[in-house]
A = this chain, B = another copy of it.
Amino acid sequence: MSNCKTHKTCINEALKKAETICNEKGVKLTKLRQTVLKLIWKSHNYVKAYDLLDELKKIDDSAKPPTIYRSLDFLIENGFIHKIQSLNAYVGCSHPQEHKECYFLICDSCQNIEECCSEQINKVVISTTGKNHFELNQVTLEISGTCQDCTN
């Protein structure tokens, strides 16, 4: 995924989905939010907030930390991006509609992130938390390592 051959499609799909979902929810994908989403979707790599801010400044000189963090908040709230907790970084969500308990494969070498859903992992998490009588709220599963492209 490091060099995605069909990345224009990825971006277009992501933007289209975001628009659709916003319309359904009655929230607004403003120009700014769309711009930030595009910047995040520049690749499948994770991005840091202040790098994003630097990029945004090239477009809008007046951008400041709250500019970027507000957009990030909106995009996270609506499921269009995810925060990678172990890296304080952000990445586009590849399937905002059907997103459930996903996990992330994070390549230490190329910063590529693959977002996966595993019904199996989901089940195991639910069953083991159940055994602990723990009422589940949020699952953070982030796996770092080396992706296939970088291993070869």
Contacts and interface: CB of A to CB of B under 8 A. Distances in A.
Contacts of A129: 105, 143, 145
A78 interface: no
A144 interface: yes
Interface stretch (A8-16, A29-37, A59-67, A130-138): A130-138
A3 interface: no
Given A143-B129, A145-B136, A146-B135, A120 B124 contact: yes
Contacts of A107: 134
B137 A114 contact: no
A54 interface: no
A6 interface: no
Nearest to A114: B132
A122 to B, nearest CB: 9
Interface string A112-125: 00101010110011
B137 A140 contact: no
A138 B134 contact: no
A148 B132 contact: yes
Nearest to A123: B124
A139 interface: yes
Interface of A: 85-86, 105, 107-108, 114, 116, 118, 120-121, 124-125, 127-129, 132-148, 151
